[in-house]
Structure 1
Amino acid sequence: MKIEFYGAAGCVTGSCHLLKIGEKNILLDCGMYQGKDEKERGNETFNFNPKDIDFIILSHAHIDHSGRIPLLYKQGFKGTVVCTEGTLDLCSVMLADSGHILEFESEWRNRKKTRQGLEPVEPLYTSKIAQLSMYLFQGYPYDQWIELFDGLKIRFRDAGHLLGSAIIEMLVSEDNKQTKLVYTGDLGNKNIPILKDPAIIDYADYIIMETTYGNRFHTELSSELESLAKIIKDTFKRGGNVIIPSFAVGRTQEVLYALNKHVEGDILKGASVFVDSPLAAESTSIFSKYHKYYDEEATKLLDIGDDPLSFKGLTFTRSPEESAKLNKIQSGAIIISASGMCDAGRIKHHLKHNLWRKESSIIFVGYQAEGTLGRKIVEGARKVKIFGEEIAVNAKIFNLHGLSGHADQNGLIEWLESLKAKPDKVLLVHGDTSAQEEFSELLHLKGYSTLITKPGDTFVPGALSPKFSLVRNKITALINSVEDLDVMDKNLLLEQIRDAIKNI
């Protein structure tokens, strides 16, 4: 067995890891780069031949994990995409929507290129290609062992991150030896609305682990919900609108659930809530199909006839004309719109019409990748460009981490320490450099062996690190010199030894 790391190695987006078992090639996710990652790495080509891939094991439907599957199909992949039932259904609408956006963006760029006398570009893939690629998908329930071929069995466990999201357990049999590899995908934040907490894994020999919030801590959800209600009330008093950039699938439904508790009560009585995203409308219908995935609290609401994703005052806008009308509303509206990082979609229009207004509020409820418009606003930009026009940032900006779908540092550690024994190695992916380094340091202090993966890195379970001999020789030389040192120098020596061990 050999693992090669490509996407989400040394960055957050574009998850893609190549697992080689015998003659079989298996991808763990095939996601799209976004924000700064897209500009630096590009989405057009792969580091392997798509025709050589036998299986894709897909952790969940978010585009940074699934978004390049249609491109892989376009370039010759004809294998099988294995995922949960919920992920299959969500991908059926998300990938087609992604293709539609890519077509629209290409048309927009080509109008400019035509005027400049330049050759047109084609979209990465089209909505039609995305729809065709869905014929390769096979959906399975949670907690069922599936034999993909002689030498690999897998099982999907609930990751609590998105409807259908999975932690993937893999039993690899080679040379009369069985190795258990676990891929976390994206681990969910505990106690978030609708979804169950991440499943506990009994053991693993090796873990490929996400680190999105490896150096951050979320505020308690109850506190964030109180903040959400207060922000909305204060904004309405000022005569403004509340704009919530939100991922159409997952985060939008969680925000609706949170608003349901307050909108139907006295706190926000009479508020008008608009979900301005056709994809969000479709995916909300899919959420309603999978009540078996809901947590205990959401299930109890359903049992008493209260749909947690529907309430008086909620409107789903589908057509461009309906969306445009929202920009004429000056106050009293809560507008939830995609994309969650503000780089595409209808949210940019709502920001253009509200970002400059001191009466309005912008509430971020999800991760903002480096290089995205959302990240610039969150980090305090006073002016941003939207559709080529410079817009002043006068609205109040809020970032509610507690509504995040990702586990924070405490959540990641708690999940890892729930295993009955420490794995041989924790392979860190899906995180900014600072998050990965801090999280790796913390794991070392707790006795874990880690590897921060970089693009193109190869890991062979059971093999020594290629740096091992050099580091071992350095440590030996340091230890041999200890007798000639005073106490202060010995402490310095111990620090050098610790630093050397980290590089093994």
Structure 2
Amino acid sequence: MGRELTLAFHGAARTVTGSCMEFTLGGARVLVDCGLFQGSRSLEALNREDFAFDPKKIDAVILTHAHIDHSGLLPRLVAQGFEGRIWCTAATADLLRPMLADAGRIQEADTERRNRRRDRAGEEPFEPLYTEADALAAWGQAHAVELNDWFEPAEGFRARLWNAGHILGSASVEIEAGGTRVVCSGDLGPDNKSFHPDPEAPSGIDHLICESTYGDRQREQTTIEARRQLLAAEIRGALARGGNLVIPTFALERTQELLLDIAWLVREKALPSVPVFIDSPLAREATRVFASHAEGLEDIDGTSVFQNPAFRFVESVAESIRLNAVSGAVIMAASGMCEAGRIRHHLMHNLHRRESTVLFVGYQAQGSLGRVILEGAQRVRISGQDVMVRAQIRRIDSYSAHADQTELADWIAARAPVSGTVFLDHGEAGAVEALRKLAAERLPGTNVTTPEIGELYALPPAAPARRLKTGRMDIREALGRDWQNSYADFVTGLKRELARIDDQRQREAAIRAMRKVLDEYTAHRDARRERHRQ
């Protein structure tokens, strides 16, 4: 097996974040992506586990794109001894500096905030996952390569990148090693995507790894012009209610698409000139990178589209706080799934207002605050505080940067013949299973597999993959909603439910009953531990 190519899945298998695959041939080791887990606290806890490999023994990383769920653990990888190159497109390298630096600042700020919380009194302090300095050190190892140019990331490996049409600089990865030819899709863009041409990749390969984010969903096909009219209607409706329109948005790509469309709508007089606050220093930096690459982008006329006088980039925290007094404006802030950053501040100040509107324009992972709000929660917990949800909650699917089910199936079919195995990753369980069934129909006779985190496969040429190691059973419990989501649901409604009990003595009895359940569990746990010690 020493000279046979193997593949291990370390993330984004039956979940949509934490992308990381390890290819090994002899003593050479190459990672494709090294991303951050995002979503529930149980899932995020995986970021603090030891890597399933020795970072010092990794020869290279091939990075598909700059989104944090694909790049966000690179600073930790470098801090723990990885010294090789991070191969990527030039645009990804340009984006990686602000993206990783911002992630480092968020890690430091969130750690400081958590350590200040009164409900953590007496507990051991948190340490940041990594710092801004770690992030900049990782960016220093980025090495740009042109699309379609072959390069050699490690001994016995050669690889090249193909346009994935997902975000600026995004790429699929083709790898040849040990006589085996593999394609990793990375994240794939949809049809009618602003800025980028449709995805490309070679056909007639041995093995294929394809993302499945929207593997169970077909979006209504729409044009860019129709999408703009949907956005205009949402903005007009939100302003008519008299409050703000708050848009949780990813600082990279989604923000720039929204700015492109709002500028077009105002120019065409389909929308009045409305103040648009972009409360994300990262979005400002990403927009500058977009402007520097404007010549290679579709649907854009120079860089002036991002310099509209109605667009106001918010710099400092003090400026962000002053937006509390604003009404009748569009406020865009990261993160897109509401798990960190300034969007949480704006949700705290707008969710309880009936005149406000929250518009979701991107994917919301299971267990994320955005998913909880979108699924109709009446109360949510943000930074230790209970917040009523009275605002209008709206959604536009047509801004997705991911291909839908039909587009994914078409892309997979276009890679045929696949003589070995099609692996479906980067999707929640239902999405992966739905796409598996469709892919099996489109490629009859082809082995289609849905790997789990921790699984290891041998990848022979012209033959199905062989599983060498099973996945981690403990991680299954961390995928999707976790006990902390359930706890947040419980405590946000607990006070209200107790207040509905008219009799003071009955309220006290209810509290004693709940306390008794916890005391009985604690006694049972302690007794079990004592038996094990004996």
Please indicate the TM-score interval, normalised by the length of the shorter structure.
Answer: 0.7 to 0.9
User: Does the aligned pair in 2 maintain the 1:443–1:449 contact within 8 Å?
Assistant: no
CA deviation string 1:30-76 (max 9, x = no partner):
00100127537520121111111111111111110000011011111
Q: Does 1:6 align with 2:10?
A: yes
Q: What is the CA distance between 1:466 and its match in structure 2?
A: 6.1
Conserved in 1, the CA contact under 8 Å of 2:324 and 2:346? yes
Query: Is the 1:54–1:79 Cα contact (8 Å) retained in structure 2?
Result: yes
Q: Determine if the alignment matches structure 1 residue 321 to structure 2 residue 324.
A: no
Map of 1:312-461 to 2, 5 A cutoff? 312-331=309-328, 333-419=329-415, 421-446=417-442, 447=444, 448-461=446-459
> What's 2:84 paired with?
79
Letter in 1 for 2:164: A
Q: Distance in 1 between matches of 2:373 and 2:51?
A: 32
Q: How far does residue 160 in structure 1 lie from its aligned partner after superposition?
A: 0.9
Where does structure 2 lack aligned partners over 5 or more consecutive residues?
A: 469-534
Aligned to 2:152: 147
Cα distance change on mapping 1:162 and 1:454 into 2, 3 Å:
same
- Equivalents in 2 of 1:440, 1:56: separation in Å? 28
Deviation at 1:148, TM superposition (A): 2.5
Which residues in structure 2 correspond to 1:171-182 (within 5 Å)? 171-172=176-177, 174=178, 178-182=179-183
Q: Aligned-pair distance for 1:113?
A: 8.0
Letter in 1 for 2:244: N
Confirm or deny: 8 A CA contact 1:14 1:34 kept in the other structure: yes
Match of 2:35, SS state, is coil
Distance change (3 Å), C-alpha of 1:41 and 1:457? farther
Question: 1:286 aligned to 2:289?
Answer: yes
1:501 counterpart residue number: none
For 1:146, what is the secondary structure of its paired residue? coil
> Structure 1, residues 96-125: CA drift from partner, whole Å, max 9, x if none?
111111111111222348973333232111
Q: Does 1:157 align with 2:162?
A: yes
Cα distance in 1 between the residues matched to 2:238 and 2:19 = 38
Q: Percent identity?
A: 40
| Residue in structure 1 matched with residue 139 of structure 2 by the alignment | 134
Shift in alpha-carbon separation, 1:324–1:293, aligned structure 2, 3 A = same
For the pair 1:205 / 2:206, whether they are aligned, the reply is: yes
1:461-500 paired onto structure 2 within 5 Å: 461-462=459-460
Q: How does 1:181-192 map to 2 (within 5 A)?
A: 181-192=182-193
Q: TM-score, normalised by structure 1?
A: 0.87
Cα shift readout 1:340-372 (whole Å, capped 9, x = no counterpart): 011111111111121122222111111111111
Q: Deviations over 1:73-103 (max 9, x none)?
A: 1111112211111111111111111111111
Query: Using the alignment, how far apart are the partners of 2:42 and 2:70 within structure 1?
Result: 14
Relative distance call for 1:467 and 1:255 in structure 2 (3 A) is closer
- Equivalent-residue separation in structure 2 for 1:48 and 1:200 (angstroms): 29
How far 1:232 moved relative to its partner? 0.8
Deviations 1:452-493 (A, max 9, x none): 01111111123666689xxxxxxxxxxxxxxxxxxxxxxxxx
Partner Cα distance (1:163, 1:311) in 2: 21
Classify 1:123/1:150 alpha carbon distance in 2 versus 1 (closer, same or farther; 3 Å): closer
When the two chains are superposed, the root-mean-square deviation of aligned CA atoms in Å is 2.0
- Residue 62 (1) aligns with residue 67 (2): yes
Cα distance in 1, alignment partners of residues 427 and 466 from structure 2: 24
Cα distance change, pair 115–294 in 1 and its aligned pair in 2 (3 A): closer
State the one-letter code of the partner of 1:126: T
Query: Structure 1 pair 116/237, CA: closer, same or farther in 2 (3 Å)?
Result: closer
Q: How does 1:151-300 map to 2 (within 5 A)?
A: 151-172=156-177, 174=178, 178-222=179-223, 223-295=226-298, 297-298=299-300
Q: Deviations over 1:276-330 (max 9, x none)?
A: 10000001000111124312x32xx23xxx7333323111111112111212112
Conservation of the 8 A alpha-carbon contact between 1:59 and 1:168: yes
C-alpha distance in structure 2 between counterparts of 1:396 and 1:25, whole Å: 49
1:89 aligned residue: 94
**Map of 2:504 onto structure 1:** none
- 2:305 aligns to what SS in structure 1? coil
Contact kept in structure 1, 2:190 and 2:198, CA below 8 Å: yes
Matches of 1:199 and 1:293 in 2, distance apart?
A: 16
CA distance in 1 between partners of 2:454 and 2:203 (Å): 30
CA distance in 1, matches of 2:429, 2:391: 31
**Runs of at least 5 residues in structure 1 that lack an aligned partner in the other structure:** 469-504
In structure 1, how many angstroms separate the alpha carbons of the residues matched to 2:264 and 2:351?
A: 27
1:442 is matched by which residue type in structure 2? L
Distance of 1:466 and 1:187 partners within structure 2: 26
Shift of 1:150: 4.3
Aligned residues: 457
- Residue aligned with 2:97, SS: helix
Using structure 2 for the length normalisation, give the TM-score. 0.82
